[in-house]
Amino acid sequence: MKFRRLILANLFRKKIRLILTIGSFAVALFLFAFLGVVRGAFNRGADVAGADRLVVIDRVSIINLIPLKYRDQILQIPGVKCITHNNWFGGVYQDEKNFFPQFVIDPENQRQVFPELVVPDDQWNNFVKDRQGAIAGARTAERFHWKIGDRIPIKTTLYGGGSWEFILDGIYHGQRPENDETQFWFQWDYFEERIPQAIKGQIGWYVLRVNSPDDAVRVAKAIDAKFANSPNETKTETESAFAAGWVKQFGNIQFLILTIGSVVFFTLLLVTGNTMAISVRERTSELAVLKAIGFSGRAVLFFILAESLVIALAGGVLGLSLALLAVPALAKALNGMLPQLVLEPSILVVGLFAALAVGIASGILPGLGAMRMRVVNALRRV
Amino acid sequence: MVRVDGNGGSQSLIRVRGLNKTYSRGGEKIQVLQGLNLDVDKGDFVAFMGPSGSGKTTLLNLLGGLDVPSAGSITVAGDEITHMSGSKLTQWRARHVGFIFQMYNLIPVLTAYQNVELPLLLTKLSGSERRKHVETALGVVGLADRMRLYPRQLSGGQEQRVTIARAIVSDPTFLLCDEPTGDLDRKSADEIMALIEELVAKYGKTVLMVTHDPVVAARAHTTLHLEKGVLVEGTASSRQSVLAGGAA
Amino acid sequence: MAIPLIYNVRSVRARWTSAIVAVIGIAGTVGVFIAMLSLARGFRATLVASGSPDNALVMRAGSTSEMMGGITLDSVRVVEDAPGIARDSSGPLVTQEVVGVIPFPLISTGTDANVQVRGVSPHVLRIRNFVKIAQGRMLEPGLSEIVVGKNASTTYSGLTLGNILNFSGSHWKVVGIFDAGGSSFDSEVWCDAPVLNQVLKRPQNIFQSATVHLVSPDAFQQFKDAVTSDPRLNVDVIREVDYYAKQSTRFTTLITILGGVVASIMAIGAIFAGLNTMYSAVAERGREIATMRALGFGAAAVVVSFLVEAMLISFIGGAVGCAAVLPLNGLTTATINWQTFSSLAFAFKITTELLIKGVIFALAMGIIGGLLPAVRAARLPVATALREL
């Protein structure tokens, strides 16, 4: 493009301002990506929930247990494909700070219900045979530098208390980066053997898959109807509704973070756009000279827009690239306090478009002004 | 007595010897001043003339301690300024030089009073003493009634008067004027020149002035011309040639 | 002698359109900084307020949370005889409690959120003596009656005085609303402990914790030593204040890190905005600066003057930021307390100290954003800048 020189020369005339403006853009876009990641983390459960999965909990309280014998009754309901059950263990590994969720699982069915959490077959087979065996999510294993074969003691005050020792037989990976890779699973048989008589045969919740997602609501109703007026009434929800319920309980915090963040994001963009507009206004007389020597108004508009777009694009790409680098570091700092922090491609795309939109917006007003200005007036306005 | 031959006595207020200034522009060396000599006594009023690029401004910068020469010396009231450090030179300027610029260079956000007071902030004077000095200086330039106004509320001539008040308020050793009437109409220019003449005649000020306007230069006691990097004393013929040059 | 401050004040005013960019940037940063910290502090303050210095919590040894505790009635009886416990006409001031988590619909969204339901013993109000019944009366032991914390009452539908609720297979009457002075109990629903055990199908005579009122805060060590050394008991004793303070750490850390990251990113942005403002200030005022220098003001005076100007702008930004978030003070919000799996209402807590920190933060940004431009101003070539247009 023959005007490339002119545009570049204009860009680099004030290097500091150029750097600062690109920097501001980068900061804004970095913040945008960061907030997207945090929002995603808060909503993670709902986002990755299987549409065909239902969660069955006790109607009275989520911390109440429900009988294992419900399992067969649920399986009789038409439309149910497979079912697994879990218990919350709530133990402590070395120190309270090292929190990760520990689930008692049903090794026969866990993989059918959660196919997206993948364990290599050989590891899984070892786990099934090993009564004290455990499977850890890749992130948790990495966090504590666990290797297959390690002995992992976990202390608990529930279920008779004491320190329970597990042997790490496998590590699972999520198929999607958003999948939770922090869980720790161990066998129902081992669990039931050690717990006090009073709570044997009781599980925390069921997770089941239905044949068709469209059928989910009917199946949920059928399950709850089956156990109505029994000593343990149930509450069955789709996994996404269940997860969304938890998200809602985060309450205004998430809303606040996002509101504050968005306000700030737009302020930053506004500020940046304003700076760019000022730099055009300062050059009014030069632009007049361009017009005087025969450039059309449209050409002048084009120069200005090209300039602001280049700045916006450079800043946007820089900010998003920095975010790509920074997210893993941040995940480490938060140390498992939030679920998976993932920078999704959609965030990058939206961010880039936002940057370009601001680039155009901040160039268009002064650009139109320059396009329409009368050369004679502008030249005198030194 | 003003001399340009380098033979002035040691009692001269301003003594310049063998002044050289070389600039390098784009790899090319340009010698602007070449062994310039000058002697100015207290109470002298000297005008420097010369075509554009002859080094008038360079000379003024050197005399005002805004720039350092490549060679040679400048001695003012017994102090040699050519070897002073930057911060020394700053202090020296505050005590000895009063600047009057073509573009006034008033601080737009300060009132006339505050502009004139600026140089006094560098002294140890108390608030009430400063007030007395500022009011006196503004009285001398005839703006005692305008001291609360901002520069933009003043006419060009009035702005230049404020500049003059600012230049004299700290009673400096000499005044340096850079095209003091360059931005003014003839009437205002006349008034400003009358004021400068009064400063010399009535208050015994020493004034060095750069101008390209022969009418203005004519009001000085002595007119010197910058030619080929040195000063020459103004003769009728050379003054004539400048006039012709100005007309062309 | 320094360049007069009035010069900077007036210059900022004269170029306010450019200064406002930096002001907004800094105000936003300071606002977020204070909002996040006040959120963390409010959360912490709410939990800390839940503990009384002269109360101690007794739980099964090794328990990190009441939810995990388990203590038999027999053990409670043993604890009641320990030295250091305050007594009144009804006997030792001990409340043995059961906690449950029961979903109630939120007024705001209509969806369920978990409420901590606490089964208490009849004289709990003498142990947590900062809790006052604001409306109605205290519940009667043995009946399906509940008293509701003031935040719970305004957050969940149905928790109003006189209303009959249906949950856990029985009918409950709301007989009172209590005010727990902004502590986490304000988010709770209280009922009779044995009744709650029944409803949650838990064994009778097992409680999750016991809270004792001591004769004085100093009696804690004596009480703790006596209880932990008793061979009949296998319990931990912790000051109530410490227990609740510890509960707040996870959320507080989360908010502090998130807020810290957001505020630091924004600080960089604000510093960029400040740099831009100050650099263009220096560029536009080159002649003024040169004039000052010609008049005899030193380089240091110029640096100081521009730094002061940057700090002036950032101070305004800081003040605007403080003013903008001040209305948040006392605003109640809620989040889930992962230690109890239930919702906890708390208020933003903006203290003078936080505001001062915010302003200091703003000034720091001003100094960073102003230093380089100020140095550039002092380095301007005086002779040329004097005559430029």
All structural domains of chain B with their residue ranges: 42-65+96-247
Q: Cβ separation of C268 and A263 shorter than 8 Å?
A: no
A382 pLDDT above the threshold of 50? no
> Of residues A266 and C300, which shows the higher confidence score?
C300
**What sign does the CA torsion over A226, A229, A233, A237 have?**
positive
Cβ contacts (< 8 Å) between C7 and chain B: which residues? Answer: 107, 109-110, 114
CA–CA separation, C50 and C128 (whole Å): 9
Q: Hey, are the CB atoms on B122 and C295 less than 8 Å from each other?
A: yes
- Contact assignment for C14 to B109 by CB distance below 8 Å: yes
Domain span at residue A328 reads 4-45+251-380
**Pairing relation of β-strands A102-105 and A184-187?**
parallel
Report yes or no on chains C and A touching (3+ CB pairs under 8 A). yes
> Closest approach of chain A CAs to the CA of C365, in angstroms?
15
What value does the mean pLDDT take over residues A295-308?
A: 81
Chain A contact partners (≥3 CB pairs within 8 A): C
Count Cβ atoms within 10 A of the Cβ of residue A328 and give its class: 0-12 exposed, 13-18 middle, 19 or more buried.
exposed
Domain assignment of residue A244, yes or no: no
What integer best gives the mean pLDDT of chain B? Answer: 86
A98 contacts chain C (CB < 8 A): no
- In chain C, residues with a C-beta closer than 8 Å to the C-beta of A265 are none
Instruction: Put residue B229 in one of left, alpha, beta given phi > 0 → left and psi -120 to 50 → alpha.
Output: left
Helix (H, G, I), strand (E, B) or coil at C173: strand
Task: Determine, for residues A271 and C112 on separate chains, whether the beta-carbon distance falls below 8 Å.
Answer: no
Q: Is A67 on the interface with C (CB under 8 A)?
A: no
A56 interfaces chain C, CB cutoff of 8 Å:
no
CA distance C200 to C191: 12
Chain A: residue nearest C23 by CA? A271
| Residue at A210: amino acid letter | V
Span B7-31, pLDDT tens digits: 877 788 999 999 999 888 777 888 8
In a domain, A148, yes or no: yes
**C-beta of residue A45 within 8 angstroms of C-beta of residue A237:** no
Q: What is the mean pLDDT of residues A315-332?
A: 84
Check CB contact of C298 with chain B, cutoff 8 Å: yes
pLDDT tens digits, A176-193: 777 888 889 999 988 888
User: Smallest Cβ distance to A253: which of C64, C168, C333?
Assistant: C333
Using a CB-CB cut-off of 8 Å, the residues of chain A touching C168 are 60-61
CB contacts, 8 Å: C13 with chain B: 109
Average pLDDT of the segment spanning A143-147: 89
Strands A151-156 and A162-174: antiparallel
pLDDT for the residue numbered B208:
94
Q: What pLDDT score does A365 carry?
A: 79
Contact between A337 and C28 using a beta-carbon 8 Å cutoff = no
> In 3D, which of C224, C169, C248, C204 has the Cα closest to residue C96?
C204
Structural domain contains residue A41: yes
Nearest-by-Cβ selection for C21 from A16, A260, A274: A274
| B neighbours by CB contacts (3+ pairs under 8 Å) | C
| Partners of residue B122 in chain C, C-beta under 8 Å | 1, 295-297
ipTM attached to this prediction: 0.79
Position with higher pLDDT, C152 vs A282: C152
Same domain? For A80 and A179 the reply is yes
Task: Report yes or no on A195 lying in a domain.
Answer: yes
Distance from the Cα of C60 to chain A's closest Cα (Å) equals: 8
Residue A180 has a pLDDT of: 82
3+ Cβ–Cβ pairs closer than 8 Å linking A and B: no
pLDDT score at A254: 66
Yes or no, beta carbons of A337 and C203 under 8 Å apart: no
Measured between alpha carbons, how far is B42 from B173 in angstroms, rounded to an integer?
Answer: 9
* Superfamily designation of domain B42-65+96-247: P-loop containing nucleotide triphosphate hydrolases (3.40.50.300)
- Helical H segments across A231-335, by residue range: 239-250, 252-282, 284-292, 297-334
| Ranges under pLDDT 70 in chain C | 1, 62-64, 67-69, 336, 338-341, 388-389
Total structural domains within chain A: 2
To the nearest whole angstrom, how far is the Cα of B230 from the nearest Cα of chain C? 21
Query: A27 to chain C nearest CA, in Å?
Result: 6
* Residues β-bridged to residue B63: none
Average per-residue pLDDT in chain A? 81
How far is the C-alpha of B139 from the C-alpha of B120, rounded, in Å? 16
Predicted confidence (pLDDT) per residue in A30-78, tens digit = 888 888 887 777 766 666 667 788 889 887 777 778 888 898 999 999 9
Mean pLDDT of A256-267: 71
| Euclidean distance between CA atoms C262 and A92, whole angstroms | 31
Mutate to test the interface with B, among C291, C293, C389 (most CBs of B within 10 A): C291
What 3-state DSSP class applies to C85? strand
Distance of CA B107 to the CA centre of its chain: 19
Contact A260/C at CB under 8 A = yes
Of all residues in chain A, the percent with pLDDT exceeding 70 is 84
Q: Residue A377 phi/psi, 5° resolution?
A: -65, -45
| pLDDT at position A44 | 65
Chain C residue with minimum CA distance to A37: C258
pLDDT at A52: 84
In a domain, A140, yes or no: yes
Q: Are residues A307 and A359 in the same domain?
A: yes
* Residue B108: both structure tokens together: 């737009």
Count of CB contacts below 8 A, A vs C? 153
Indicate yes or no: CB of C382 within 8 angstroms of CB of B66. yes
More confident residue, C25 or B111: B111
Confidence of residue A379 (pLDDT cuts 50, 70, 90): low
pTM of the model: 0.75
Using an 8 Å Cβ cutoff, are B21 and B69 in contact? Answer: yes
Contacts of C288 in chain B (CB under 8 A): 105, 107-108
- What residue spans define the domains of chain C? 5-48+249-387, 62-233
Residue B243 — pLDDT band, cuts 50, 70, 90?
Answer: very low
Q: Which of C16, C386, C388 to mutate to test the interface with B (most CBs of B within 10 A)?
A: C386
Domain assignment of residue A197, yes or no: yes
Question: pLDDT value at position A381?
Answer: 45
| Residue A185, helix vs strand vs coil | strand
Measured in angstroms, the CA of C91 and the nearest CA of chain A are apart by 30
Which pLDDT does position B234 carry in this prediction? 65
Contacts of A24 in chain C (CB under 8 A): 269, 272-273, 276
Closest CB to A34: pick one of C111, C261, C389. C261
Q: Which residues in chain B are contacts of C293 at CB distance < 8 A? A: 90
pLDDT, tens only, A233-254: 888 888 877 777 666 666 656 6
Q: How far is A24 from chain C (nearest CA, A)?
A: 5
Q: Tell me the β-bridge partners of C190.
A: C118, C147
Burial of A69 (0-12, 13-18, 19+ CB in 10 A): exposed
| Residue C187 and residue C345 in contact, taking contact as beta carbons nearer than 8 Å | yes
Res B245: pLDDT: 43
C interface test, pick of A16, A38, A236, A249 with most C CB neighbours within 10 Å: A249
Average confidence (pLDDT) over B31-58:
89
C-beta neighbour count of A289 within 10 angstroms: 14
CB within 8 Å: C299 and B91:
no
Check whether residue A33 and residue A151 sit in a common domain.
Answer: no
The CA distance from C306 to the nearest CA of chain B, in Å, is: 15
Tell me whether residue A375 is in a domain.
yes
Could you tell me which chain A residue has the CA closest to the CA of C339? A90
Categorise residue A56: left if φ over 0, alpha if ψ from -120 to 50, beta otherwise.
beta
CB pairs under 8 A between B and C: 78
| C79 closest CA partner among C305, C284, C276, C236 | C236
Partner residue opposite A337 with nearest CB, options C63, C254, C262:
C254
Q: Do A108 and A24 lie in a common domain?
A: no
Cβ within 8 Å of B, C 260-289: 287-288
Q: Which residue of B has its CA nearest to C288?
A: B107
DSSP letter for B227, please: E
Residue of A nearest to C63 (CA): A157
pLDDT the model gives residue B241: 44
Chain C interface mutation, best of B58, B122, B160, B168, highest count of C Cβ atoms under 10 Å: B122
Same domain, A155 and A282: no
